[in-house]
Amino acid sequence: MDIVGLFFFIVFWALLLIVFVIISKGIAISILFMVFLSAIILLMLYLLMRYSGKVTPEPITPTHEHPLPLIGGVCEVLDEISPMRSGWVRYRGELWKAFSVRSTFKRGDIAYVIDARDRFLIIEREFPLRGKS
């Protein structure tokens, strides 16, 4: 149970006890109990504010990274794709919008993913090797 849950638990039972004391017409006891309850509530609020300031949440940073590296994989071309026209490919069981810079593809061809830009794949017939010119 966290500190907020404990706080509400204590407040609930204290208010229930206050109602019981007021119903039984013990005015002096109910005044003392309300002072005691106020002190407990103030203490709980102080602890809540003191320790909640020490908790720093991790900032949420949007990421567009795929859990697996996209570059270097083989995909199946589903549309005609040319340097002037983008199309759809199936890559790792997912449909991706893709385009090519140099090659032309027909439906059913196999292509290599050479780069990924946002939600688009850049595909070519051959995977360029690094260090080769």
User: Residue 100 above 90 pLDDT?
Assistant: yes
What CATH code would you report for 74-124? Answer: 2.40.50.140
What is the four-CA torsion angle of 20, 26, 28, 33, rounded to 10 degrees? -10
Determine if the pTM surpasses 0.85.
no
pLDDT band of 46, cuts 50, 70, 90: confident
Mean pLDDT, residues 27-48 taken together: 75
Provide the β-strand partners of residue 122.
Answer: 99, 115
pLDDT at 130: 58
Higher-confidence position of 16 and 43: 43
Q: What is the pLDDT of residue 113?
A: 93
- Residues 81-101 have a mean pLDDT of 93
Supply the mean pLDDT for the chain: 80
pLDDT confidence tier of residue 26, bands split at 50, 70 and 90: low
User: What confidence tens digit (pLDDT) does each residue in 53-85 have?
Assistant: 666 667 777 666 656 678 888 999 999 999 999
In the chain, where the domains are located: 3-52, 74-124
Give buried/exposed letters for 79-101 (b at 16+ CB in 10 A, else e).
Answer: eebeeeebbbbebeeeebebbbe
Residue 124 or 16, more confident: 124
